[in-house]
Structure 1
């Protein structure tokens, strides 16, 4: 066996165990570069849905997601304009 090309597994090549989670398919037991499956669709509420439905926002806050603060000028339909003054 040559000292320049050892035929044994080196310690710097980690092996995936059952706790390893793939970032692509969200499966366990392999790394992302070993993944052969497709990405699953993960649905999330849109920003508009979060602003219009406070229950969704409360649910995300409970899960530890960042909150969305809405300025007062965006809470009305017309902002700072009055509908009778618009053309």
Structure 2
């Protein structure tokens, strides 16, 4: 992860796809990871796949798949800012 972030600091691309890179991290390092993503997101759009709740709190858009009944998947998309606005009503 440090190598990828270093490369993006040197030569940023428009977006970066990260797949469960936070999974092996402890909570302190997940916090550092989230801080780095937040700082770099001013220049790079991040798309990340995660099950970590702390990392999900960083996102402005959440997209997932749920299975309410066996064999039937459903796509779920949440605009976090809109959800917070609706919850405040």
State TM-score, norm by structure 2. Answer: 0.22
Higher RCO (CA 8 Å, separation ≥ 6 residues): 2
Larger fraction in helix: 2
Which structure: larger Rg? 1
State TM-score, norm by structure 1. Answer: 0.22
